[in-house]
Amino acid sequence: MKLYRICFLGFGNVGRALARLFVSKSAELRERYGIEWEVVGVATRRMGWRASENAIDVTRLLNGNDETATVPGIDEWLARAKPDVVFETTSLNPETGQPAIEYLRKSLQAGAHTITANKAPLVYAYDELNELAIAKDRRFMFEATVLDSAPVFSLFRETLPAVRVRGISGAFNSTTNIIMETMEAGRSFDEGVKTAQELGVAETDPSHDVDGWDSIMKVCAMARVILRVPLLPSNVRREGIRGLDPATLQAARAEGRPYKLLSRVIVNSDGSVTASVRPEQVATSDPLGGVRGTSLAIHFELDVIPGLTITSHRPNLQSTAYGLLADFLNAVN
């Protein structure tokens, strides 16, 4: 039986869902994998840098009753907690990826397997962080960044050797799906935002979603990791959904070619890529045409497989948390 000391860097909705998942899977982790675990550190803007040499009571942590002592910053946090694994779920910064990149760098330098749900570090620092992980004989993993728990990066790492990717397309954003479907029903953009917020898929400020930034970061992350092309957000053609109105969306749906916010990466003959995120009409018979509600999908065009589509049906916080848990198991095993 192996005991792993784990830390949560960020403890919002996803981090809390992951903690609950660890609790519910404890017996299975112990019996099937020989794994015990304990939380020794949690850090958020509100809570500060809480770290302990001994296990933190997860029930009290989830109930908001934890009184673990705080330390000044991440260096002291890592030194006191001495984690085997750090889960990073802090806010997205699409401009620079900071401070998440620095947090991940320090976690790897401290000798911890480092697992993130944050797309920006892949865009701006994947090579550095991956090389650092290799040098430290640790894993840097990030399956939850694109399609929640559905396999994207692990698909190529583990099961599709020697394939050549010719193109990637996807419907990557639940918020825009909900907003456009609400408008198809004759309601307003603002009502669509409210619906998405009530479902828990949209932030208080939904700009990253509706203006295409969330999808752009996913496109750039896949280009960097899967295609080995350093694609930056400024090189992606971007158009959000604010220019669409209910009448246009209703007419498109009636035509059988509804609008979706689609992300595309095309690999050119010279190995460079052309990428876009914009609303497009797509036939309901298309692999991405049937994606509705909170569901997400990605479609790959490969040299040896004409088309491969993966759909995540109605993912939720537990789905995202499972992506992090799966990375944990793959890292420590």
**Domain shared by 52 and 196, yes or no:** no
**Domain shared by 162 and 189, yes or no:** yes
**Domain shared by 287 and 183, yes or no:** yes
251 contact partners, CB below 8 Å, separation of at least 6: none
**pLDDT level of residue 317 (50, 70, 90 thresholds):** confident
Is the pLDDT at 127 greater than 90, yes or no?
A: yes
**Domain shared by 270 and 228, yes or no:** yes
Confidence (pTM): 0.94
**Domain shared by 124 and 57, yes or no:** yes
Is the pLDDT at 130 greater than 90, yes or no?
A: yes
Q: What DSSP assignment string belongs to 269-281?
A: TTS-EEEEEEEEE
pLDDT tens, position by position, 198-223 = 988 888 899 999 999 999 999 999 99
Is the pLDDT at 298 greater than 90, yes or no?
A: yes
**How many domains is the chain partitioned into structurally?**
2
Secondary element (H or E) of residue 74? helix 74-81
Domain span including residue 92: 2-149+317-332
**Domain shared by 162 and 298, yes or no:** yes
**Domain shared by 243 and 328, yes or no:** no
**Domain shared by 145 and 9, yes or no:** yes
CATH number of the domain encompassing residue 122: 3.40.50.720
Percent of the chain scored above 70 by pLDDT?
100
CB 297 within 8 A of CB 288: yes
Residues written for the chain: 333
Check residue 212 and give left, alpha or beta (phi > 0: left; psi -120 to 50: alpha). left
CATH number of the domain encompassing residue 245: 3.30.360.10
Residue spans of beta strands (DSSP E) within 164-291: 165-171, 237-238, 259-267, 273-281
